Amino acid sequence: MADRATIESLLGATVRQISPLHGGDLSEVTLVMLDDGTRVVAKTGPLVAAEARMLRAIDRAGAPAPKVLAVSGTLLILEYLAEAAASPSGWAALGHALATLHADEGQSYGWGEDYAFGQATLPNTYSDDWCQFWGARRLLAWPDKIPSDIAHRVERLVARLPDLLPPHPRPALLHGDLWAGNVLFTGTGAAFIDPACYYGHGEVDLAMLTLFGSPGPSFMDTYGPPESGWQDRRAIYQLWPALVHLRLFGGGYRSMVDRCLTAVGA
């Protein structure tokens, strides 16, 4: 659990209570009540400084995310946002927020530093070729860490990417791990949490958002119409998070990987 003394030192306030919050599988998240009744969120993990830089980038783009209050070592302190149930207005707010995020355009594909989901590294070295980035930095980031038969199928798919993906889509600022669990619906809209940002094809976020569920219909109304052919490309983009889950959580996700590969004839 987050260290009380460190929180007090960073915020210059007395901590009244610390209690666990639901979080991801790869970090610890706690709700901290300060002596004056203010609530903040404390998150611990080895890459919280990188996460703080991503949250600030999202904020600079004009998209909603919790404010970074302090970061030191393995501790990140964030603004507390009260969670509400997903609703049509919440999904509409998310569509607008994602369109705002994707309007932030980079010079090329990638990010200024690498990232990771636990043991699954995310190489982010910049590239001017999107197919090269997606193939080398994502689908084949660690072929020796997945079953060999799957790796061979992925390799064959990567060789076909120039025929399947646009070579130079607009480099949009991506959330990078956008599923419903990394969206915080609030009483006034929706905010992004737990990002894994880089610049890439905006369809990556759309594909991830539909991998484990389906956004409400009002989402696309405010996000705007996707590019022609996006549904044909979706399985290629969903393959990456499927591979991450296979790497981190084991064979239970093999069928998801297989479905993505089969959908694109690999």
**Which residues are part of the catalytic machinery?**
177
What DSSP designation does 29 have? E
SS3 at position 96: helix
**Cα gap 96→100, rounded to integer Å:** 6
**Cα gap 99→138, rounded to integer Å:** 23
Q: Work out whether strand 39-44 and strand 28-34 pair parallel, antiparallel, or are unpaired.
A: antiparallel
Closest CA to 198 of 120, 133, 248, 247: 133
Helices 148-164, 230-249: axis angle to 10 degrees equals: 160
Closest CA to 245 of 165, 137, 145, 131: 145
SS3 at position 233: helix
Q: What is the CA radius of gyration of the chain?
A: 19
**Cα gap 68→176, rounded to integer Å:** 19
Q: H or E segment at 28?
A: strand 28-34
| Lookup result for tokens 């460190």 | 6
